[in-house]
Each structure stands twice: as C-alpha cells, then as structure tokens.
Amino acid sequence: MSDFLLENEAARRLIQTLGLPVPVPARLRRAKGPWEERPLHDDIVAVGGTTGAAATAVLAQTLTAAGATPWLTRDDHVAVFAEPGEAFGRPAKRVDLEALPDGAKLRGLVFDATNLSDPAELHALYSFFHPLVARLSSCGRAIVIGRPPASFESAHSAAAHAALEGFVRSLAKELGRRGSTAEVLYVERGAEARLAAPLRFLLSARSAFVSGQPLTITNEVKAPKDLRWVRPLAGKVALVTGAARGIGAMTAELLSAEGAHVVCLDRPADDALVSQVARQVGGSVALVDLGTPEAPTQIVDHLRQHHGGVDVVVHNAGITRDKTLAKMKREYWDQAIEVNLGVAIRSTAALLEGTLRDEGRIVCLSSVAGLAGNLGQTNYAASKAGIAGYVRKLAKHVAGRGITINAIAPGFIETRLTAAIPVMIREAGRRLSNLGQGGLPRDVGEAIAFLSSPGAVGCNGQVLRVCGGALIGA
C-alpha cells in the first residue's frame, strides 16, 4: 500500500499551490547498500558547544573520518580539529555565526553541551541553533550532546541537561516538515569515545525515521577490540525471528550486507517464504513454531548444532490479536503475551546459557503502542511494554560478558499489517508524526543493524523509537 501524498506528484503540487491545510510530507533521504567508511562524504556539519565541553575531540575525529566538512563556530575548536582534519583530508572551516557564508546548506548541526552546569547557560544552545537552523538542508540532522540528568548531584545541573530533551523534541517537530530530524545523546563521563558509532548512524541517511529521541551512551559494557565501519559483522552469526516477511526479512538483508551469516527463523507454515529470504541473503533456515513450549530448546539446539553458537539475536517475531478488553477471548490474550514477550524472555534465558557468545548483541522489538497504549490492544501493548522493561533490567546482568540488549519501538511502518487498517485510520496514523508519513521496514532494520554492531557498545538497556517522531507516547 503506497502513501498517496508521497507518491502522487500532481496531488502534492495541487495541495501546495492552493495552500490547503494538508501536510505534504518530504521524501526522506535513505541510504542504499552496506555501511560505508565515509557515510558523511562532503556533508557540511556545523559544530558548536559550551566552554570546556568534553566531546570536542571525539567530534573532530568522528566527523572528519566519516568524510564530513566541519564548520566550527568556536575559536577553541580550531586546534582540536586541525590534526584529524589534515589526516583525513577534511580541514575544518571557522565560521562567524553573524556572517555566515552565502548559499551553502548544512547537512548537520552538532552542539556539545556536556559542560552545562546551570539553566542560565542554555542561552548557548539558542545562540548556536538560531542562526543555523534555517541553513539546514532538507533531510538534515540536528544533534545535541549532554550528560544523563540523573548523573548530577546538583539539581541545577540536572535541570539544565533535562532541558536538552525538551528542546530536541520540540526542534524535531519544527524540522519534520522538511524531512529533518533532531536527537539528544546523553553520554556518561568517560564514555565519550563511544559516541562515534551513534553519531555516524544518527547523522547519516540510515536514521531517516528516527526523530526527537534521547539515547544514552554508557561505559558499563567492555568495548570490543575490533571496531570497523565496513562489514562490521563479518564472521558473525545472527538469528532473526519472524524473518519470512516485512521487518524481519529486511533485517536479514541488512545484517547479511554487513557480513553476518543470518539464520532466518519462522514457523513451519512459512517454510517457502523464509527459505526464499534465506537464499536471497546467503543465510540458512530454522523452522520453529514460537507458540510451542519447546521453542527455546529448539532454537538453542539448532544454533549449537549448525553454527556452534550465535553472536546477534533479533527477537522480531510478533503477533496481534486485537479486540477491546471486554470482547477479547482468553486465548487472544495468552497468544499475544506468549509470542511477543514470553518466548523472547525464555529464548534469551536459554541462549545466555552458553549459546550466545560474549560480546554478543540482543535486539528486541517493542512498539510505540507499548509505550503509549492503543485502543483494542491491551494484550499487544502489555507485551511490548514488557519488552521495554525486560531489556532495561536485563542489560546490567549481561554487561559483564560484553553483551548488550536493547529494544526498538517502531511506530507506523508500512507493512501488510498496516495496509489492512481502514483507510481513514491508516491515513491518520501516517500523519501523526514529525515527519508526517509512515516508515518503511528498512528504517527499522537500519536501527537494528546499528544496535547489532560492535560500535554500538555504549547502548545498553535502551529503547529506541523508530517512529518518525510519533505525536503519541513518551
């Protein structure tokens, strides 16, 4: 099912010409092909910050290595950017915010607020973004870097850093009509080096449908020794459940493109479909009915027998059994809770007993419905909220083995399930986000691939919404 306002050029022109009160969404810029060494090639990224900000050196190394052309708005950043700029052939340019060069459009705006100590200092945020936001190109990116508010003893400092999230969520709503996004990265002290992978992902076209989100970067998981940006999953085995179609099939394709051997798991009834996906990605098939008590044991046995273990686990499989609570059958409740939550918990527990290798990655599929609730989905929302709580709690228990566990919470994604929604409800679902449109399975798969990578070691116990900045939920 295609989006009329995105695909029909004549309708777009008519709405814009007549000035009708109908949001005309921007066509999003999405990445193609596997990860690149320089995903920001020739992109101009303006960099600002507060005095004494802690992430400047990481920004200098990350942006220049990724191929960006940095515009610096502070004199004290010039020396920091000089060496990496020379090494990667990307010399930074010092610009005056009151006399910006004519014509050039910026692909990204990055502000390092790690040294904020009081709300009075938030004026620096305004001073940076105010003259630059109009220069941001369509499908641009704005990122603010701060500290987790809970990490401060001072209530003043906690307030200043909590303010960053409100700023970013609101800015994301202002930018959405142009297909642009804004995020806040909260980085723990000492974890600044772990910003590289999140920055590369969020500044690139791979984060097209991630908007208005906070992401916390921590030090709790030991970093792997081998970090590379091209084919980061080479030599690894990845399990994707529900791989026969939609988000699961796209995730299998993207993980395979990054070098993983993908074990495509689905129910025996979908043998033909999942086998086709496996052939296309050069992977293999595991046929398991997740609705049975034996499912976790069958998954473990298959991975041990055929692959000796697994490095990446993506719990994507899920079902809906929608009814208002008064009309819901007990079996509908039980099926949604078991398949969406129970199997993921029991399978993970079994895999952690020696099948999931150290430095592994677990990604679970939650949902915006689980964070905000949804009419007629008490069972589904309960299961998806349970996933969010599960990953937040389990994260600390697996960190000692170098393992991370995170969740993705998709919003309105264009799949066969959303295509079956009545037309007016479907249209409303598409428009109720910053970006004014539904996402694609690829958008969710890109976020899963990011969290599955070694470079995402700083993300643990996170719930990342891939929802275009949905106007519901937290």
Q: Which residues are marked as active site?
A: 380
- Which residues, 6 or more positions from 217, have their beta carbon under 8 angstroms from its beta carbon? 185, 186, 187, 188, 191, 194, 195, 198, 458, 459
247 neighbors 409 (Cβ within 8 angstroms): no
- Which residues, 6 or more positions from 37, have their beta carbon under 8 angstroms from its beta carbon? 67, 229, 230
CA 244, 249, 255: angle at the middle one, nearest 5? Answer: 135
C-alpha–C-alpha distance, residues 132 and 106, integer Å? 8
Nearest to 162 by CA among 206, 211, 119: 119
Q: Tell me which residue has tokens 């796209």.
A: 250
C-alpha–C-alpha distance, residues 331 and 339, integer Å? 12
Nearest to 318 by CA among 431, 153, 444: 444
- At 170, the amino acid letter reads S
C-alpha–C-alpha distance, residues 146 and 192, integer Å? 10
Q: Cα dihedral sign for 274, 280, 285, 291?
A: negative
What CA–CA distances, in Å, run from 225 to 171, 201, 202, 313, 352?
37, 20, 23, 21, 22
Burial of 312 (0-12, 13-18, 19+ CB in 10 A): buried
Q: For the sheet with 44-49, list strands across it.
A: 93-94, 69-72, 44-49, 106-112, 136-146, 181-187, 213-217
367 neighbors 355 (Cβ within 8 angstroms): no
Q: What are phi and psi of 459, to 5 degrees?
A: -100, 115
